[in-house]
Amino acid sequence: MEVLGRHMLLELFLCDKEVLDDLAGIETVMKEAARVSGATIVESVFHRFQPHGISGVVVVAESHLAIHTWPEYGYAAVDFFTCGPGIDYQQARNYLQLAFAAQDFELREIERGGERDDRGRLVRRQSREV
């Protein structure tokens, strides 16, 4: 089986704490990140926790873009899984870093699916920091 998709794991550090705790703002930013990547938005769901923090997902035709924020630490964790051609998750990463005023980030990419032998055992899968 060929690689079926790519999963971007993005950690954003030293972000603007107020931005990370703004429910409407987070949803707007995440939808725009999906748009700039070239993904097709299907729908979104976001939730604000008490006393702070937001989780949400933008469902896209190519899979999903999800976020979890910890405003008290200035930290956000973002997952972007895509299984369609032409999606530029680097554009999404650039946009999110700027929108959250992140002073640092770590990005890892995991290939999903991967080559398997005739018994279904994994032959190759890559995970790399990018």
Query: Which of 37, 47, 63, 64 is labelled catalytic?
Result: 63
Nearest C-alpha neighbor of 89 from the set 29, 32, 52, 34:
34
Q: Is 63 a catalytic residue?
A: yes
Please report, in angstroms and rounded to a whole number, the separation of the first and last CA atoms in the chain. Answer: 24
Residue 24's SS3 state is helix
**DSSP per-residue codes, 52-116:** S-EEEEEEETTEEEEEEEEGGGTEEEEEEEE-STT--HHHHHHHHHHHTT-SEEEEEEEEEE-EE
64 annotated active-site: no
Whole-angstrom Cα distance, residue 114 to residue 73? 35
Catalytic, out of 44, 52, 83, 127:
83
Say whether 7 is catalytic. Answer: no
Residues serving a catalytic function are 63, 68, 83
